[in-house]
Amino acid sequence: MSELERLLRPELRGKTPYGAPQLEVPVQLNTNENAYAIPEDVAAIVERYLSREVRGLNRYPDRDALALRTDLAAYLGHGLTADHVWAANGSNEILQQLLQAFGGPGRTVLGFMPSYSMHPLLARGTGTAFVDAGREDDYTLSAGHVRAAIAEHDPDLVFLVSPNNPTGTALGADVIEAAYGAARGIVVIDEAYAEFARDPESTALNRLAGRKRLVVTRTLSKAFAFAGARVGYLAADPELVEKLLLVRLPYHLSSLTQAAARGALACAARLQAEVDELKHQRDRIVKNLRAKGLPVADSDANFVLVGGLADAAAVWRAVLEQGVLIRDVGLPGRLRVTAGTEEETTAFLAAFETVMDRHPDLFGTGS
């Protein structure tokens, strides 16, 4: 053990950083990015918003990002105001701030894995104990399971993801109600992929009113094709938002980030066209792979979890050899693929069919 390793916090020793493979291949469908670049007309509007800020960069940004929060509230609707919304550098920072404020040493956050793999890492980074209550064998999550897990572990925070990553499945309203009714602490519904849901009205935003401990987190990375800008946000009771000011860094969200996000929000309706096309390509993947006899769950996200693989790692490598990068998320017999453009999706389906034809022994578990 090196000197620095000995000085490192014990819970961080021997751990590896989060990250997906970054490989230069023709088709990259492994990180759930929006496959479409910012349209030229939207880019021009974002640039106008940015240009207003450049000459004032000698000054600190609006510490509380009030204009951005006002725009985010207008986008979300549901009677929300700027006081109900908080923004940060990606939804990961939002989740980190929630853990800093309501978690920490001696406190526990409850999750249901497999789910977003950053949740336990963020917990570890804030000194919060992470408890994994698991899921059913088919990776679904029932109200009874959630209720029982909360009763057993009595967590300070509960993390639920809808649509879930990596399964793509959305939570039923009964699961959210069960979690909030059973928990004494903060209940966080991570809705990073909410705009891709087959029923957009199923959002947990419908349940915020009167529930002071309920939080809905979102991002501009996916539906707004804004992954490079790093903008995440939450909606919650104004009192909870106030508590987050205790842990946010001064001027944490740059003037340029705030301006770019406001430009993107001004084009929300325009960007919805790309969302609709990605949903079409996602459903195309589901239909095509099911026709080949593979078990694939309906997805409410911009990705699909493919099952029925006897050797997922070998299938991943074989697809990569065809010039298509997808994601091995570590689940036995399963791989995840992001919905791409029509051309990228076609390339993936062709590559997958080639692998099935050449290596039939790698398929057929029925899982």
187 forms beta bridges with 158, 214
CA 246 from chain center: how many Å? 25
- Residue-wise pLDDT for 329-342, tens only, equals 999 999 999 999 99
3-state secondary structure of 29: coil
Measured between alpha carbons, how far is 29 from 196 in angstroms, rounded to an integer? 16
- Class of the CATH-defined domain 20-38+269-362: alpha beta
Work out the angle at residue 159's Cα, subtended by the Cα atoms of residues 152 and 207, and round it to the nearest 5 degrees. 105
Measured between alpha carbons, how far is 37 from 25 in angstroms, rounded to an integer? 18
> How many Cα neighbours within 13 Å face the side chain of 281?
25
Average pLDDT over residues 85-108: 98
Provide the residue type at 282 as one letter. Answer: R
Tally DSSP H helices, then E strands, for the chain.
12, 11
- Rg (C-alpha) for the chain, rounded Å, is 21
From-to residues of CATH 3.40.640.10 in the chain: 62-253
Taking CA atoms, 190 is separated from 125, 269, 355, in Å, by 19, 23, 35
Q: Among 90, 221, 246, 217, which Cα is nearest to 157's?
A: 217
Is domain 62-253 given the CATH code 3.40.640.10 in the classification? yes
Q: Is the dihedral of CA 104, 109, 113, 119 positive or negative?
A: negative
- Residue-wise pLDDT for 195-238, tens only, equals 999 998 889 999 999 999 999 999 999 999 999 999 999 999 99
Furthest C-alpha separation in the chain:
62
**Beta-strand pair 108-111/129-132:** parallel
In this prediction, what percent of the chain has a pLDDT beyond 90? 90
From-to residues of CATH 3.90.1150.10 in the chain: 20-38+269-362
What is the pLDDT confidence band of residue 44, given thresholds at 50, 70 and 90?
very high
Would you state the pLDDT for residue 282?
98
Would you state the pLDDT for residue 20?
67
What is the pLDDT confidence band of residue 48, given thresholds at 50, 70 and 90?
very high
Would you state the pLDDT for residue 201?
84
**Beta-strand pair 214-219/186-190:** parallel
pTM of the model: 0.94
Contact 131, 155 (CB under 8 A): yes
